[in-house]
């Protein structure tokens, strides 16, 4: 089977997590750059990568890369690529673009040139001057970085954070891909308690449960490349069948999701139900100041309110101080907090063991990590 190159795109700061996911899937010779990991693959890997990547944004098919400092170079370089091997005669294709530190800074002009070049390539294959574009959808992207043009086709369609379980979202919901990364950056595993005391619509607990039961995150959704004739339906069937077989159906999890907002908890319950995880997560309505956990060892992962509005800041600062006081007694727990508050450690009353820079959407945030001791090994 012909070798192809795929690109897993990521939010800034999550490259190492996505690289680890790809390594766990068996991929080698990975090239990591800001916001993306490129890897060798075959057509069979397009369904696998889309179904299994938890923290990537999209999976792109890399068509080619070349230097382009003029529109003529962009046109000729694009036309030379094998578009006709992927885009069908009736394929509907759009061109998106971005340009950073490049002579070709006009994105709209670059998009138009790429579109024209692809049409010219298609003409040589199908011997016609006009295409109906009523068939499968293909989204092409021209990315210009320091005068290097990278041409790709998006195999995912809707972003990979759209798992299909979030029928309702609370205020400012955390992206599923970021939530999965927070869990994977922690010391949590399926044998330990996980508590999210600010669960909102339940994204962190649900993503943790999916990891704990080894549920492929893309199992409940469709992808743009499923409609591409070149990729066999058999590949999609085999990838989905394999994902079902790899689930830990009998795995018992200890996950607690709580929030002061009763409506948020109801939404979280419905979202968990949509993934078949309603029995794996215990939901509670309550203020963090009033709730307690009984397990001796556990992990807390949370995304508390940020207090971006001036009127909320005083209350949020008090909340962070209360968190420090409450969590101080949980000295056997590992605690992870995502917030945009740069003075969090001062308010919380303790310097983090590690502070990781991330982005929640376009907002710069930090992931504060406080490591607790390992639980004692159980001697059988």
Percent of the chain residues past pLDDT 90, beyond the cut: 85
Tell whether the model's pLDDT for residue 269 goes beyond 80: yes
Using the 8-state DSSP alphabet, how is residue 176 labeled? H
Q: What does the block give as tokens for 202?
A: 């339940």
Q: Helix or strand or coil: residue 174?
A: coil
Ranges assigned E (strand) in the chain: 4-9, 31-33, 36-41, 58-67, 92-100, 137-145, 148-154, 193-196, 254-259, 281-285, 298-302, 333-339, 354-360, 363-370
pLDDT, greater one: 379 or 7: 7
Q: Sorting pLDDT into bands at 50, 70 and 90, what band is 167?
A: confident
Q: How do beta strands 31-33 and 58-67 pair?
A: unpaired
Tell whether the model's pLDDT for residue 228 goes beyond 90: yes
Render pLDDT for 47-67 as a digit per residue (tens, 0 to 9).
Answer: 999 999 999 999 999 999 999
Domain coordinates in residue numbering, the chain? 4-154, 176-215+247-370
Q: What is the pLDDT of residue 310?
A: 45
Whether 156 and 50 have beta carbons less than 8 Å apart is answered as yes
CATH number of the structural domain 176-215+247-370: 3.40.50.150
Its pTM surpasses 0.75: yes
d(CA 149, CA 102): 9
Whether 79 and 71 have beta carbons less than 8 Å apart is answered as no
Q: What does the block give as tokens for 332?
A: 């056997």
Q: Helix or strand or coil: residue 5?
A: strand
Tell whether the model's pLDDT for residue 147 goes beyond 60: yes
Q: Which CATH class is domain 4-154?
A: alpha beta
Percent of the chain residues past pLDDT 70, beyond the cut: 96
Q: Sorting pLDDT into bands at 50, 70 and 90, what band is 308?
A: low
Tell whether the model's pLDDT for residue 118 goes beyond 70: yes
Tell whether the model's pLDDT for residue 365 goes beyond 60: yes
Residues 6+ apart with CB under 8 A from 131: 89, 90, 91, 119, 122
Q: What is the pLDDT of residue 132?
A: 82
């Amino acid at each position: 089977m012909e070798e192809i190159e795929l690109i897993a795109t990521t939010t800034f700061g999550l490259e190492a997590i996505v690289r680890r996911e790809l390594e766990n899937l068996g991929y080698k010779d990975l090239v990591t750059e800001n916001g993306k990991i490129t890897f060798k693959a075959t057509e069979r890997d397009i369904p696998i990568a889309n179904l299994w990547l938890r923290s990537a944004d999209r999976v792109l098919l890399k068509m080619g890369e070349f230097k382009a400092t003029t529109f003529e170079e962009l046109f000729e370089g694009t036309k030379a690529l094998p578009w006709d091997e992927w885009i069908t005669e009736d394929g509907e294709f759009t061109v998106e673009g971005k340009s950073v530190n490049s002579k070709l800074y006009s994105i709209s002009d670059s998009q138009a040139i790429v579109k024209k070049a692809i049409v010219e390539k298609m003409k040589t294959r199908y011997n016609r001057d006009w295409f109906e574009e009523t068939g499968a959808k293909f989204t092409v992207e021209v990315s210009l970085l320091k005068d290097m043009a990278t041409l790709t086709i998006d195999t995912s369609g809707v972003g990979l954070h759209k798992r299909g379980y979030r029928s309702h979202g609370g205020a400012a919901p955390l992206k599923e891909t970021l939530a999965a990364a927070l869990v994977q950056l922690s010391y949590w595993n399926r044998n330990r308690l996980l508590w999210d005391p600010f669960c909102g619509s339940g994204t962190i607990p649900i993503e943790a449960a999916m990891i704990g039961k080894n549920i492929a995150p893309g199992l409940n959704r469709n992808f743009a490349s499923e409609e591409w004739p070149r990729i066999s339906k058999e590949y999609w069937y085999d990838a989905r069948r394999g994902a079902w077989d790899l689930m830990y159906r009998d795995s018992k999890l200890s996950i607690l999701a709580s929030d002061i907002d009763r409506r948020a908890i109801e939404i979280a319950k419905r979202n968990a139900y949509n993934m078949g995880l309603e029995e794996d997560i215990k939901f509670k309505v309550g203020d963090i100041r009033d709730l307690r956990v009984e397990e001796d060892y556990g992990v807390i992962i949370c995304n508390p309110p940020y207090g971006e509005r001036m009127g909320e800041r005083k209350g949020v600062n008090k909340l962070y101080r209360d968190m420090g006081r409450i969590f101080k007694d949980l000295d056997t727990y590992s605690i992870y907090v995502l917030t945009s508050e740069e003075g969090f450690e001062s308010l919380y009353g303790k310097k983090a063991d590690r502070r990781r820079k991330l982005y929640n959407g376009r907002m710069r945030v930090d992931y504060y990590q406080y490591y607790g001791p390992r639980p004692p090994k159980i001697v059988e």
